Structure 1
Amino acid sequence: MSAVAAPTTVTATGAAATGAASAEPDRVVGADRVLAVLVELAKHTQGASLDELVTVIRAPKPTVHRALASLRRAGLAAQDGHGHYILGDEFLRLAFAHAEGRPDHVRVTGILERLAHRYGETAHYAVLDGRWVVYRSKVDPLVGAVKLSSTVGGRNPAHSTAVGKLLLSYELPTLDAVRDWIGDEPLEARTETTAATPEALHDQLELIRERGYSIDDQENEAGVNCLALPAFLASPTVPTGGISISGLAYRMPIGDLVRDLSAIRAIVSGAD
């Protein structure tokens, strides 16, 4: 594709301009492509070839190659012994340092450890991000339990998770609010028990507000249960996120968690 010269204009002071404004979007697009390559690399834990990245990002090979070169110079990308591109050690260092330094991460780690130790199951701290929950912290039991596949930084739909519904109960007080939040994109029925209509979700949020806790009775993943409570780290009335205890349903029936709610509350509040 041939380049087209930017038009020359004359400003009010008589100085010539060469279309600087029109050049700015090109620089933004270039930066966006570098970020797109970085995000795509994060999806390929075993590495990705240049051709694979070109296909997914749908950009010219020289453009993707330049983006990779920029990332490699910054230590954010690297090449393995097979010539595949992977996230660089500097990116991992920054990510873990940032996660470890978050005030909420530091404050909830002890709580998650006590929950995981008491129940022999996985404990999470997560926040709401639009239609999703993002896991900020996770503690697995040391021994004796199957570890869940969730990861720090990973996402799950808010409407099908205990912690997501808990946080939505503060955000969506009415059926109209639920409908507006859903918009034109239908809710995914992750399992047979997922609340996948505005009315069903609203009913669950009403019950959560009444109870003060939320459950996921195999609603996000068949065979996995979860109970969540709010974490008030910055305000006594508005939760910064939710703390949950999750495990396999055959080993940790949801009824057992509910019956032990007072003990879970004590741990989350710091009283235990």
Structure 2
Amino acid sequence: MKHTQTSDESTAPGEDSARGAESSRLVGSDRVLAVLKELARYPDGVGLEELTRVMGSPKPTVHRALGALRRAGLAGQDTRGRYVLGDEFLLMAFAHHEARPEHVRIRPVLEALAHRFGETAHYAVLDGREVVYRAKVDPPTGAVRLTSTVGGRNPAHATGVGKVLLAHQLGTVEEIGAWIGDSPLVRRTPRTLGTATDLHHDLRATLERGYALDDQENESGVNCLSLPVYATSPAVPSGAVSVSALTYRTPLRTLVDAVDEIRALLGPLGEPYG
């Protein structure tokens, strides 16, 4: 049967070529962004040869992308000629992060927790199977480097912040099984929960007591207690705070005994509203 072109299907002269050019620009933009993301992995700078190798892209392509980033102030070169993130990028990133409403509201809480326990305090949100750290405050003294970084990720099922947020989303073992899907739960330490049944028991206990525990499940020698934060929704946590402590210095029992104090420091942000 002969196809009759409708008005919705009509193509103006030159439109196909315009769409093709737009597609090409998007591909080019994707390449520039890929270079920007890779560049962020090298705080000490990276040479063009190495960047080309790790990205698996032609040198001219990477060089053009770096040129575009430099013109925008998003990349630069140090005195050795190595490429680094540009000052303009850092200015935008830090200004945006510091101005986020949730960060502004949660920062004083994290500072109070870090000062009170002499340990690291976090604020994180859930993103699929992972948590993303939005804010972190180390103690005034005695800080020990943890795997967490602002903008970094960890498996949700292995962290206190992740489990307290999952507890409000996954109510049955079937829901947990569907959430796990075909990808097994990552075992970060010998204590990491590895099955849907184990995670279900833990999440149910978390919901009943109102806080989650990480008993060296994400990092050996580090435990934490986490509470939900209601910054943007009256009933669903927008994120979670945690106190992450070295086990030899602050045992998990110490954090559990102080949970009411932690809640008090969290204040209204720790309570559903509306």
Q: Say whether the fold is shared (TM-score over 0.5).
A: yes
Match of 2:230 among 229, 232, 241: 232
CA deviation map 1:27-46 (0-9, x unaligned): 21111000000000111111
What residue number does 2:37 align with? 39
* Deviation, structure 1 residue 24: 3.0
* Deviation, structure 1 residue 14: 8.1
What residue number does 1:192 align with? 190
Q: Distance in 1 between matches of 2:235 and 2:153?
A: 25
Match of 1:243 among 230, 241, 244: 241
Change (3 A) 1:79 1:268: same
Instruction: Among all aligned residue pairs of Structure 1 and Structure 2, give the percentage whose two residues are the same amino acid.
Output: 58
The letter of the residue matching 2:76 is A
CA deviation map 1:186-223 (0-9, x unaligned): 11110111012111111111111111100100000000
What residue number does 1:218 align with? 216
What residue number does 1:29 align with? 27
Which stretch of the first structure deviates more once superposed, 99-108 or 80-89? Answer: 80-89
5 Å-filtered alignment, 1:74-153, equals: 74-153=72-151
The Cα RMSD (Å) is 1.8
What residue number does 2:61 align with? 63
* Deviation, structure 1 residue 233: 1.1
Look up the SS of the partner of 2:136 in the other structure.
strand
- Does 2:187 correspond to 1:176? no
The letter of the residue matching 2:72 is A
The letter of the residue matching 2:133 is Y
The letter of the residue matching 2:97 is A
Change (3 A) 1:16 1:207: closer
Q: Distance in 2 between matches of 1:46 and 1:210?
A: 47
Q: Distance in 1 between matches of 2:173 and 2:47?
A: 48
The letter of the residue matching 1:105 is H
* Deviation, structure 1 residue 270: 5.2
What residue number does 2:165 align with? 167
* Deviation, structure 1 residue 87: 0.6
What residue number does 2:252 align with? 254
Q: Which runs of 4+ in 1 moved over 4 A?
A: 11-14
5+ residue gaps, structure 2, are 1-8, 270-274
Look up the SS of the partner of 2:125 in the other structure.
strand
Q: Is residue 125–residue 138 contact of structure 1 (8 Å, CA) maintained in 2?
A: yes
Change (3 A) 1:257 1:16: closer
5+ residue gaps, structure 1, are 1-10
Q: Distance in 2 between matches of 1:163 and 1:215?
A: 9
Look up the SS of the partner of 1:94 in the other structure.
helix
Q: Is residue 111–residue 270 contact of structure 1 (8 Å, CA) maintained in 2?
A: no
The letter of the residue matching 2:107 is T
Q: Is residue 160–residue 219 contact of structure 1 (8 Å, CA) maintained in 2?
A: yes
TM-score, normalised relative to structure 2: 0.90
Change (3 A) 1:56 1:270: same
Paired positions, count: 261
The letter of the residue matching 1:129 is D
Look up the SS of the partner of 2:168 in the other structure.
helix
* Deviation, structure 1 residue 151: 1.6
TM-score, normalised relative to structure 1: 0.91
The letter of the residue matching 2:258 is D
Look up the SS of the partner of 2:113 in the other structure.
helix
* Deviation, structure 1 residue 55: 1.8
* Deviation, structure 1 residue 22: 3.3
Look up the SS of the partner of 2:81 in the other structure.
coil
